[in-house]
Amino acid sequence: MALPTLDLLALGGYRITLVGRPWAAELFAAYPWTVIGLRKGWRESIGVLRALRRAAVEPPDGLLLTNSFSSALEFRLAGLRPVGYATDARRLLLQWAIPLSAATRRLHMVDYYFALGRSFLKLPAGAAPVPALRISDGARERARSALARAGSAGAYIVLCPVAVGLHHGQVKCWDGFGRLARELVLAGREVVVCPGPGERDAARLACPDARLIDGMDVEAFGALLAGSLLVVANDSGAGHLAAACGARLLGVFGVTNPTRTRPRGESARVLGDARGWPSYATVSQAVWEQIPADAQGR
């Protein structure tokens, strides 16, 4: 969801170094940006950030897309110049605390990050474009190879039945994925599931009739999603990745609010909201409506 903001900074002439989760290096493999994965523990994180400071002639600006106090503290202790929204009682730690209005708090997260980036660049307010993730030819080839190794051939539909973590104590996984996989397979459709690290057993349990595609990096997973007829996903990272890669996506919500966090893409559609899950019949009908007309008979 931060992609439009990162592209804006790059267009503004900034040399970008991304600091975050280690898998971000795979996600942004097609970009000319340096990606540094932070280790666990604040001491280790500060050590990594201090190395960035030592490598620079002047303290670099650190644009914080996070709202946390700890990120501002780590950047400040490392000698960087943290810039971000004045949230979480961290105003005094920020080199530049950007005011956060009630209207900004209500924005979709894509627009929320984009507004931060435009403020940082001292640009007037503007609408964020749809996130669009670059995918390398190498990632597309790895996806094709993974499909071939699993015995998958021809057009396929991807189901993403796993969503890690709870939202206010509630599970974010729709319980109809197994039934949907069975319906599609019986109708002659190729259905695949590609679990993330540690998700294999949960994915197999949720969709026993689907073909399992194992051991893919994040960029290749994006290529797999982009090449599908349709992706059906929970409110999860897989759904956002599918939308950013331009895949035809059906997102199923039931405990979270799509107003701020729904996947945003040209071909993304969402069913359900924080008030409850859509019925199975509603999802099934939407799935068949979303499959491209020229692929309905395959």
Looking at residues 276-288, what average pLDDT do you find? 97
- Do 187 and 289 sit in the same domain of this protein? yes
Q: Which residues contact 190 (CB under 8 A, 6 or more apart)?
A: 152, 153, 154, 155, 156, 157, 211
71 belongs to a structural domain: yes
Q: Assign residue 236 the CATH number of its domain.
A: 3.40.50.2000
Quote the mean pLDDT of the chain: 93
CB-based contact 93:72 (threshold 8 Å): yes
Looking at 32-46, 89-103, 173-187, which range is the least confident one? Answer: 32-46
Residue 48 has φ and ψ, to the nearest 5°, of -65, -45
Which of 86, 120, 154 delimits the end of a domain?
A: 120
Instruction: Tell me the pLDDT tens digit for each residue of 102-157.
Output: 999 999 999 999 999 999 999 999 999 999 999 999 999 999 999 999 999 899 99
- Do 49 and 15 sit in the same domain of this protein? yes
Give kind and range of the element (H or E) at residue 35.
strand 34-37
55 belongs to a structural domain: yes
Q: Is the pLDDT of residue 296 over 60?
A: no
64 belongs to a structural domain: yes
229 belongs to a structural domain: yes
Q: Which domain holds residue 80?
A: 3-120
- Residue percentage of the chain with pLDDT more than 90: 83
End-to-end CA separation in angstroms for the chain: 33
Tell me, what amino acid is at 74? E
Residue 298: per-residue pLDDT: 44
- Do 107 and 148 sit in the same domain of this protein? no
115 belongs to a structural domain: yes
Structure tokens at 133: 């993730």
Which of 92, 120, 148 delimits the end of a domain?
A: 120
CB-based contact 261:109 (threshold 8 Å): yes
221 belongs to a structural domain: yes
- Do 55 and 144 sit in the same domain of this protein? no
Looking at residues 4-32, what average pLDDT do you find? 94
Q: Is the pLDDT of residue 12 over 50?
A: yes
Q: Is the pTM of this model over 0.85?
A: yes
- Do 143 and 104 sit in the same domain of this protein? no
Instruction: Tell me the pLDDT tens digit for each residue of 171-223.
Output: 789 999 999 999 999 999 999 999 988 899 999 999 999 999 987 999 999 99
- Do 199 and 90 sit in the same domain of this protein? no
- Do 271 and 200 sit in the same domain of this protein? yes
Longest Cα–Cα distance of the chain, Å, equals 63
Phi-psi label, residue 60: left if phi above 0, alpha if psi -120 to 50, beta otherwise = beta
- Looking at the chain, list the stretches that DSSP marks H as alpha helix, in order from N- to C-terminal side: 3-11, 24-27, 42-55, 69-77, 102-105, 109-120, 137-149, 177-186, 200-206, 218-226, 237-244, 258-261, 280-290
Helices (H) and strands (E) in the chain, counts: 13, 13
Residue 294: per-residue pLDDT: 62
- Residue percentage of the chain with pLDDT more than 70: 98
Looking at residues 49-74, what average pLDDT do you find? 92
Q: How many domains does the chain have?
A: 2
Q: Is the pLDDT of residue 263 over 80?
A: yes
- Do 250 and 144 sit in the same domain of this protein? yes
126 belongs to a structural domain: no
CA distances from 160 to 104, 184, 221 (A): 31, 14, 11
Q: Is the pLDDT of residue 297 over 70?
A: no
Which of 65, 88, 120 delimits the end of a domain?
A: 120
CB atoms within 10 A of CB 275: 9
CA angle 271–275–279, rounded 5-degree value: 45
- Do 115 and 184 sit in the same domain of this protein? no
- Do 192 and 265 sit in the same domain of this protein? yes
Residue 275: per-residue pLDDT: 92
Q: How confident is the model at residue 59 (pLDDT cuts 50, 70, 90)?
A: confident
- Do 146 and 289 sit in the same domain of this protein? yes
- Indicate if the alpha-carbon torsion angle 161, 218, 67, 103 is positive or negative: negative
The residue to which tokens 């190498």 are assigned:
138
Give kind and range of the element (H or E) at residue 271.
strand 268-271
- Do 79 and 114 sit in the same domain of this protein? yes
Question: Distance (Å, rounded) from C-alpha 224 to C-alpha 226?
Answer: 6
Q: How confident is the model at residue 293 (pLDDT cuts 50, 70, 90)?
A: low
Residue 166: per-residue pLDDT: 64
27 belongs to a structural domain: yes
Instruction: Tell me the pLDDT tens digit for each residue of 221-240.
Output: 999 999 999 999 999 999 99
Q: How confident is the model at residue 164 (pLDDT cuts 50, 70, 90)?
A: confident
Partnered with residue 276 across adjacent β-strands are: 273
